[in-house]
Amino acid sequence: MQREQIQFDMLFVGAGPAGLAGAIRAAQKAEEKGMAPEIGLIEKGAEIGAHALSGAVLNPKALAELIPDYKERGCPIESTVRGDGFYYLMKNRAVKVPVVPEHMHNKGFYVVSLSKFTRWLGRIAEEMGINIFPGFAGKEILYGPDGKSVIGVRTDDKGLDKEGNPKPNFEPGIDIMAGVTILGEGARGSLTREVVQRLGLDKGRLPQVYETGIKEVIQLPEENFFKKSRENDIHTLGYPLGLDTPGGGFIYEMADNRISIGLLIGLSYEDPMIDLYDEFLRFKSHPFVAKIIEGGKVIESGARTVATGGEYTLPALAAEGLMLIGGGAGMQNPPALKGVHLSMKSGMLAAEVAVDAVDKGDFSERRLRSYRDSFEKSWAKPEIHEGRNFAQALARKGPAKFFHLGLQYVTKGRGLIDPLPLEADFLTLKPVKGIPEPSERPETDGTLFVDKLTGVYLSKTQHREDQPGHLIVHDRHICVTRCYDLYKSPCTRFCPGQVYEMEIDEQSKERKLKLNPSNCLHCKTCEIKDPFENITWTCPEGGEGPGYTVV
């Protein structure tokens, strides 16, 4: 098939904070050097910000380096953190932790809507002449004749039917060729996963682990908790997850009497009967949280995974013609629950190396590896280094969790053993013993407590039904036999979009897995947590998926 080819000097994949900060920094540095490289940026969302979801407290360190006059240029800040609150939730009460851990001191930082923030960065990038293509999903990496050097990205074919045949409106994907391709797809990006595997970039590293965050924006009444509270940045541990399931909740004050509320659940959890969305509803109904959100209405909802493994899980950050940035490369400070500033910094560091590479016409691994060197010398490194064993400590069971977490703070991340071992998330489920008790589902009211499908609706997720399925279940026989027998179909519970349903076939009376891919929130939890690694998430047609505007 004849495909159009476009040539860029450097191509950023993904218009998240990493890709946008990188593209802007590349344009700045090129100008400093009197160069005018062609910089491209593709984004799978219908527009910049459509897929950007995060309960983001922004440490402005990287932003201030990139755009020192960000306030004058209209950076959309929702609120400034005036006080941090850290609580341990028991079933019916909350205990205030007297000392907020140092990493979670956010006073003076900003609460931002990542969707609005990335739209703002996108406008600046456009003004600087960067070629931005929203609605274009990177479908595959293009390799040179040696099969190892990255030479660009092929975008998705548009207008295929369910069987993969071209419809009358078919448009073949474009081959975007680039001297250097910089992947900033976010946690568990599909191209990043493929290239890391193919080139062995994670050799000798610990496996990456993830947390899934389910999140909402709630419109509160005029008179609300935050009007009288010094704390507008609240974090919780404990209920409903208890001490055996890693994770915690957060509530951040936004502008216009809105809040961003979410629950992060470590995917190293063991109990296959846990329903992530139900846990989020339970968190919201805890008396401490219910009082804060009283009288509110959910106006946007979504889900997303975050890579929380820390330093020992970072892959090699560069290969021939390739650099990895942002959440997809594991840029996250797990104890601080913050990664936007690290993602931006990684993009900026990679961009500086990319401009030098264009200048010299040298895209070899040897040259691009200097991105790793500059990362090691930057302020980002000590932050990531201190969180190197945090995911392991958080995953400890029972009261030992507090001992290990405390030790993390005292020893600046070293703990008792350094590195502490880490297990991939798909390995941690324990088989269900006997017939599980049917658990009581949390109540919903359609306004403040909404069910999964209403949550999907409020994420403004859209997919064309008549297209090849983007969720590949490799062996459906496993689903109805081993996976059902051992774990009682955990996909029906870990997916926050109700994409997976187990039903009985009317004719054969046998179990069968039903998929509703059009509900998919692109969180990637299924690919990460499926205990048989039986699910692969691929990009649907560019421009589809969630349509976040506020979150």
Residues that bind ligand SF4 (CB under 6 A): 471, 495-497, 499, 520-526, 537
To ligand SF4, the closest distance from the beta carbon of 161 in angstroms equals 21
To ligand SF4, the closest distance from the beta carbon of 236 in angstroms equals 24
H or E stretch covering 86: strand 84-89
H or E stretch covering 502: strand 500-504
To ligand SF4, the closest distance from the beta carbon of 51 in angstroms equals 12
Nearer to ligand SF4, 11 or 523 (CB): 523
φ/ψ of residue 384, rounded to 5: -70, -35
**Do strands 471-473 and 39-43 pair parallel, antiparallel, or not at all (unpaired)?**
unpaired
Nearer to ligand SF4, 378 or 498 (CB): 498
Helix axes 340-360, 17-32, angle to 10 degrees: 40
Nearer to ligand SF4, 46 or 130 (CB): 46
Cα 510–chain centre separation: 36
To ligand SF4, the closest distance from the beta carbon of 194 in angstroms equals 17
To ligand SF4, the closest distance from the beta carbon of 340 in angstroms equals 21
Nearer to ligand SF4, 85 or 496 (CB): 496
Nearer to ligand SF4, 31 or 503 (CB): 503
Measured distance CA(421)–CA(428) in Å, rounded: 13
Q: Is the dihedral of CA 310, 39, 58, 519 positive or negative?
A: negative
Nearer to ligand SF4, 23 or 298 (CB): 298
To ligand SF4, the closest distance from the beta carbon of 528 in angstroms equals 9
Nearer to ligand SF4, 298 or 523 (CB): 523
φ/ψ of residue 247, rounded to 5: 140, 180
To ligand SF4, the closest distance from the beta carbon of 53 in angstroms equals 12
- Return the closest-CA partner of residue 422 out of 296, 284, 310, 540: 310
Are the CB atoms for 115 and 53 separated by under 8 Å? yes
Nearer to ligand SF4, 132 or 535 (CB): 535
Are the CB atoms for 298 and 260 separated by under 8 Å? no
Nearer to ligand SF4, 319 or 528 (CB): 528
Contacts of 359 (CB under 8 A, 6+ apart): 33, 35
Are the CB atoms for 373 and 381 separated by under 8 Å? no
To ligand SF4, the closest distance from the beta carbon of 262 in angstroms equals 15
Both tokens of residue 212?
A: 């899934």
To ligand SF4, the closest distance from the beta carbon of 500 in angstroms equals 7
Strand segments, DSSP code E, in 110-243 are: 110-112, 131-134, 138-143, 150-155, 158-160, 166-171, 175-183, 210-219, 233-238
Q: Is 438 exposed, middle or buried (0-12, 13-18, 19+ CB in 10 A)?
A: exposed
Nearer to ligand SF4, 391 or 521 (CB): 521
| One-letter amino acid for residue 168 of the chain | P
H or E stretch covering 41: strand 39-43
To ligand SF4, the closest distance from the beta carbon of 304 in angstroms equals 9
Measured distance CA(526)–CA(483) in Å, rounded: 13
Both tokens of residue 129?
A: 């002449």
Count CB atoms within 10 A of the CB of residue 498: 16
Helix ranges (H only) for 138-199 are 190-199
Omega before 419 within 30 of 0, i.e. cis: yes
Nearer to ligand SF4, 121 or 495 (CB): 495
To ligand SF4, the closest distance from the beta carbon of 105 in angstroms equals 32
In sequence order, the β-bridge partners of residue 10 are 39, 180
To ligand SF4, the closest distance from the beta carbon of 415 in angstroms equals 31
Contacts of 379 (CB under 8 A, 6+ apart): 61, 345
Can you tell me which residue has the tokens 């509703």? 516
Both tokens of residue 318?
A: 């560069």
Nearer to ligand SF4, 314 or 521 (CB): 521
To ligand SF4, the closest distance from the beta carbon of 495 in angstroms equals 3
Nearer to ligand SF4, 85 or 302 (CB): 302
Both tokens of residue 66?
A: 């990139």
- Return the closest-CA partner of residue 16 out of 28, 7, 24: 24
